[in-house]
Structure 1
Amino acid sequence: MSAPNHFFAEALMLLGGAVVAAPLFRRFGLGTVLGYLAAGALIGPIAHLITGAEEILSVAELGVVFLLFIIGLELKPSTLWRMRSDIFVLGGLQVVVSGLLLMGAAVFTGVLDWRGALVAGFGLSLSSTAFALQILNDRNDRNSRYGQRSFSILLFQDLAIVPLLAMISILASQAQPSPAAAWRDIGVALAAVAAMILAGRYLLNPLFQIIARTGAREVMIAAALFIVLGSALLMQVVGLSMAMGAFLSGVMLAESSYRHELETDIEPFRGILQALFFMAVGLSVQFDIILANLGVLLAAVPAVMLIKGLSIYALCRIGGSPHNDAIRIATLLPQGGEFGFVLFTTATGVSIFSGATASLLISVVTLTMALTPVVAALSSRFLSGEDHEELDEDFDGAGSDILMIGFSRFGQIAAQILLASGRDVTIIDDSADRVRQAASFGFRIYFGDGGRLDILRAAGIEKAKIVAVCTHNRVITDRIVDLIRSEYPNVRLFVRSYDRVHSLALRERNVEYELRETLESGLVFGRQAIQALGVDEDTAEAITADIRRRDEERLQIQAVEGVRAGSHMLFNRPVLQPEPLVKPKRNEG
Structure 2
Amino acid sequence: MAGESAEEHGGGHGLTGELLLDGFILLGAALAFVLLFRRIGLGAVLGYLIAGIVVGPFGLGLIESGESILAVAEIGIVLLLFLVGLELAPARLWRLRRDIFGLGLLQVVVSGVAITGLVLAGTSFTVAAAIAIGMALALSSTAQVLPLLQSEGRLNTPLGERAFSVLLFQDLSIVPLLTLVAVLSRAPADPGAPPGWLLAIYAVVAIVGLVAAGRFVLSPLLNLVGRFAERELFIVTGLFTVFAAAALMDALGLSMALGAFVAGVMLANSPYRHELEADVDPFRSILLGLFFLAVGMMLDVGVVLAEPLFVIGMAAALVATKVAVIFGLAMLFGVKARAAFVMGLLLSQGGEFAFVLFAEAERALLVTETATSLFGAVVTLSMATTPFLMALAKRFGGVKASTRDDLDGPDAAPPAGAIVVGHGRFGQTVSQMLMGANIPVTLIDSKPDQIDLSGEFGRKVYYGDGLRVDLLREAGGDEARAILFCNDGTGLDEERLEAIRMAFPKTKILGRAFDRRHLLAMGEGELDGAFREVLESAIAMARKAMELVDLDETLIDRVEEEFRKRDCDRLAMQREEGDMHAGAEMSFGGPESLDFDGAEPR
SS in 2 for 1:15: helix
- Tell me how far apart the structure 2 counterparts of residues 328 and 127 of structure 1 sit (CA, whole Å): 14
Partner of 2:97: 84
8 A contact 2:176–2:196 mirrored in 1: no
* Amino acid in the other structure paired with 2:204: L
- Tell me how far apart the structure 2 counterparts of residues 322 and 187 of structure 1 sit (CA, whole Å): 38
8 A contact 2:115–2:134 mirrored in 1: yes
Partner of 2:54: 42
Partner of 1:542: none
- Tell me how far apart the structure 2 counterparts of residues 438 and 338 of structure 1 sit (CA, whole Å): 34
Instruction: Output aligned runs, 1:154-233, within 5 Å.
Output: 154-172=167-185, 181-213=195-227, 217-233=231-247
- Tell me how far apart the structure 2 counterparts of residues 463 and 210 of structure 1 sit (CA, whole Å): 24
- Tell me how far apart the structure 1 counterparts of residues 390 and 305 of structure 2 sit (CA, whole Å): 26
Partner of 1:379: 393
After TM superposition, the score normalised by the length of structure 2 is: 0.67
8 A contact 2:299–2:373 mirrored in 1: no
SS in 1 for 2:173: helix
For residues 406-432 of structure 1, give each alpha carbon's deviation from its aligned partner in whole angstroms, at most 9, with x where no partner exists.
x894355357689999xxxxxxx9999
After TM superposition, the score normalised by the length of structure 1 is: 0.69
Partner of 2:70: 57
Partner of 2:109: 96
Compared with structure 1, are the counterparts of its residues 528 and 131 closer, same or farther at alpha carbon in structure 2 (3 Å cutoff)? closer
- Whether 2:422 is the aligned partner of 1:410: answer no
- Whether 2:155 is the aligned partner of 1:142: answer yes
1:438, distance to aligned residue in structure 2 (A): 6.4
Stretch of structure 1 that moved more, 5-14 or 411-420: 411-420
- Tell me how far apart the structure 1 counterparts of residues 118 and 516 of structure 2 sit (CA, whole Å): 52
SS in 1 for 2:185: helix
Stretch of structure 1 that moved more, 374-383 or 157-166: 374-383
1:437, distance to aligned residue in structure 2 (A): 5.7
8 A contact 2:211–2:266 mirrored in 1: yes
* Amino acid in the other structure paired with 1:30: L
- Tell me how far apart the structure 2 counterparts of residues 387 and 64 of structure 1 sit (CA, whole Å): 24
For residues 210-233 of structure 1, give each alpha carbon's deviation from its aligned partner in whole angstroms, at most 9, with x where no partner exists.
344456544442232121111011
8 A contact 1:123–1:340 mirrored in 2: yes
Instruction: Output aligned runs, 1:571-582, within 5 Å.
Output: none
Aligned pair partner of 1:327 in 341, 344, 369: 341
Compared with structure 1, are the counterparts of its residues 519 and 85 closer, same or farther at alpha carbon in structure 2 (3 Å cutoff)? farther
- Whether 2:391 is the aligned partner of 1:347: answer no
Compared with structure 1, are the counterparts of its residues 522 and 78 closer, same or farther at alpha carbon in structure 2 (3 Å cutoff)? same
Partner of 1:17: 29
1:82, distance to aligned residue in structure 2 (A): 1.4
- Whether 2:285 is the aligned partner of 1:241: answer no
Aligned pair partner of 1:305 in 303, 306, 319: 319
- Tell me how far apart the structure 2 counterparts of residues 414 and 224 of structure 1 sit (CA, whole Å): 40
* Amino acid in the other structure paired with 1:158: D
For residues 37-94 of structure 1, give each alpha carbon's deviation from its aligned partner in whole angstroms, at most 9, with x where no partner exists.
1221222232211111000011001111111111111221111111111111111111
For residues 359-416 of structure 1, give each alpha carbon's deviation from its aligned partner in whole angstroms, at most 9, with x where no partner exists.
21111111111221222222234559x999xxxxxxxxxxxxxxxxxx8943553576
- Whether 2:299 is the aligned partner of 1:255: answer no
For residues 83-121 of structure 1, give each alpha carbon's deviation from its aligned partner in whole angstroms, at most 9, with x where no partner exists.
111111111111111111111222233522211111111
8 A contact 1:159–1:240 mirrored in 2: no
SS in 2 for 1:2: helix
- Tell me how far apart the structure 2 counterparts of residues 165 and 148 of structure 1 sit (CA, whole Å): 26
Compared with structure 1, are the counterparts of its residues 208 and 345 closer, same or farther at alpha carbon in structure 2 (3 Å cutoff)? same
- Tell me how far apart the structure 2 counterparts of residues 414 and 242 of structure 1 sit (CA, whole Å): 51
- Tell me how far apart the structure 2 counterparts of residues 113 and 101 of structure 1 sit (CA, whole Å): 16
* Amino acid in the other structure paired with 1:254: A
1:457, distance to aligned residue in structure 2 (A): 9.3
Instruction: Output aligned runs, 1:425-464, within 5 Å.
Output: 445-446=489-490, 459=518
SS in 2 for 1:240: coil
- Tell me how far apart the structure 1 counterparts of residues 114 and 377 of structure 2 sit (CA, whole Å): 20
- Tell me how far apart the structure 1 counterparts of residues 153 and 114 of structure 2 sit (CA, whole Å): 32
- Tell me how far apart the structure 1 counterparts of residues 371 and 25 of structure 2 sit (CA, whole Å): 32
- Tell me how far apart the structure 2 counterparts of residues 57 and 31 of structure 1 sit (CA, whole Å): 21
For residues 537-588 of structure 1, give each alpha carbon's deviation from its aligned partner in whole angstroms, at most 9, with x where no partner exists.
9xxxxxxxxxxxxxxxxxxxxxxxxxxxxxxxxxxxxxxxxxxxxxxxxxxx
8 A contact 1:235–1:242 mirrored in 2: yes
For residues 138-182 of structure 1, give each alpha carbon's deviation from its aligned partner in whole angstroms, at most 9, with x where no partner exists.
43332332222211111110001011011111112699999x955
Partner of 1:8: 20
For residues 246-293 of structure 1, give each alpha carbon's deviation from its aligned partner in whole angstroms, at most 9, with x where no partner exists.
111011011222222222221221111111111111111110010111
Query: Whose Rg is larger?
Result: 1
- Tell me how far apart the structure 1 counterparts of residues 158 and 433 of structure 2 sit (CA, whole Å): 31
- Tell me how far apart the structure 2 counterparts of residues 376 and 212 of structure 1 sit (CA, whole Å): 41
SS in 2 for 1:46: coil
8 A contact 2:239–2:280 mirrored in 1: yes
Aligned pair partner of 1:69 in 69, 82, 85: 82
8 A contact 2:312–2:381 mirrored in 1: no
* Amino acid in the other structure paired with 2:14: S
For residues 505-557 of structure 1, give each alpha carbon's deviation from its aligned partner in whole angstroms, at most 9, with x where no partner exists.
xxxxxxxxxx99x94771696667999xxxxx9xxxxxxxxxxxxxxxxxxxx
Compared with structure 1, are the counterparts of its residues 253 and 412 closer, same or farther at alpha carbon in structure 2 (3 Å cutoff)? same
SS in 2 for 1:321: coil
8 A contact 1:170–1:177 mirrored in 2: no
8 A contact 1:102–1:307 mirrored in 2: yes
- Tell me how far apart the structure 1 counterparts of residues 338 and 516 of structure 2 sit (CA, whole Å): 30
- Tell me how far apart the structure 2 counterparts of residues 84 and 290 of structure 1 sit (CA, whole Å): 40
- Tell me how far apart the structure 2 counterparts of residues 175 and 78 of structure 1 sit (CA, whole Å): 45
Compared with structure 1, are the counterparts of its residues 463 and 24 closer, same or farther at alpha carbon in structure 2 (3 Å cutoff)? closer
1:459, distance to aligned residue in structure 2 (A): 4.8
**Cα root mean square deviation, aligned:** 4.4
* Amino acid in the other structure paired with 1:16: G
SS in 2 for 1:203: helix
1:35, distance to aligned residue in structure 2 (A): 1.4
Residue-pair matches, total: 464
- Tell me how far apart the structure 1 counterparts of residues 586 and 262 of structure 2 sit (CA, whole Å): 65
8 A contact 2:515–2:532 mirrored in 1: no
- Tell me how far apart the structure 2 counterparts of residues 215 and 387 of structure 1 sit (CA, whole Å): 37
SS in 2 for 1:12: helix
* Amino acid in the other structure paired with 1:84: R
- Tell me how far apart the structure 1 counterparts of residues 430 and 574 of structure 2 sit (CA, whole Å): 20
Instruction: Output aligned runs, 1:286-305, within 5 Å.
Output: 286-305=300-319
- Tell me how far apart the structure 2 counterparts of residues 274 and 312 of structure 1 sit (CA, whole Å): 26
8 A contact 2:49–2:384 mirrored in 1: yes
Partner of 1:124: 137
